Amino acid sequence: MAPLVIVDVDEVLALFMRGFERFIRTHGLEMRIDRFALFQNIYRPGEDQHLDVAAGRKLFDAFFRLDRHDIDVAPGAAEALQNLARQASVVILTNAPAESRPARARWLIENDLPYALVVGAGPKGRPVSALAQRTRGPVAFVDDLLPNLDSVAQEAPTVRTFQMVADHRLRPFAPCAPDRHPRLDEWSALGPAIAASLGI
């Protein structure tokens, strides 16, 4: 059986924060990245307190509901996955509103990432474990969020885990545990590391 690579979308394949930032500007808001968070980085101009989280969630839902495609692909992501896909199967696993699936699938295709897509919610340990059980080959998983990586390590301990944070502005704030999950924030380094871990 071929090896399997399971990859998150936002801040791994996609520079989601930058796309969302452009969207909130149309609502008169601004992004000030001073923590590893989404809604707590949204401010009204001139104010010191971030936008209420509930209001941020409404903007997030609207962003997906409006079928937005204004999200840049992470540099080198398409090329790295193309190289891996020569010898491995690739599955995209993203947590996003269920209704966003068609738009996410189109975005992936438009950005030369035409791989199987799974849309879910919550910790990723169980879905990664379910996917891993379908192959006898080695499996690697990439995400930006430490809780998702730890969830996978608990539910599917044989899966090789990697952390990546594509937006350089978020990197200083991202919790990480390099002793458990190697962190490589550039696809030029991450792609070969994944290949080496899978023996391909």
Q: In 3D, which of 133, 180, 172, 147 has the Cα closest to residue 6?
A: 133
Give me the mean pLDDT over the 184-194 stretch: 98
Task: Tell me the per-residue pLDDT of 45-55, one tens digit each, with 9 for 90 and over.
Answer: 999 999 999 99
- DSSP one-letter code for 95: E
- Can you give the pLDDT at residue 43? 97
Q: Token pair of 78, please?
A: 């398409």
Task: Tell me the per-residue pLDDT of 9-68, one tens digit each, with 9 for 90 and over.
Answer: 999 999 999 999 999 999 999 999 999 999 999 999 999 999 999 999 999 888 887 756
Strands (E) across 83-159 are located at 89-95, 116-120, 139-143
For residue 137, CA distances in Å to 1, 117, 133 come to: 5, 20, 9
What whole-number distance in Å separates Cα of residue 165 and Cα of residue 188? 13
CB environment 75-100: b (16+ within 10 A), e (fewer): eebbebbebbeeebbbbbbbbbeeeb
Q: pLDDT class for 2, splitting at 50, 70, 90?
A: confident
Give me the mean pLDDT over the 158-182 stretch: 97
- Can you give the pLDDT at residue 100? 83
> Taking all residues of the chain, what is their mean pLDDT, rounded to a whole number?
94
Task: Tell me the per-residue pLDDT of 83-129, one tens digit each, with 9 for 90 and over.
Answer: 999 999 999 999 988 888 888 999 999 999 999 999 999 999 999 99
Pairing of strands 4-7, 89-95: parallel
Asked whether the beta carbons of 76 and 188 are under 8 A apart, the reply is: yes
Q: 3.50.50.60, 3.40.50.1000, 3.40.30.10, 2.40.160.60: which CATH number matches 4-15+73-198? A: 3.40.50.1000
**Domain limits, the chain:** 4-15+73-198, 17-65
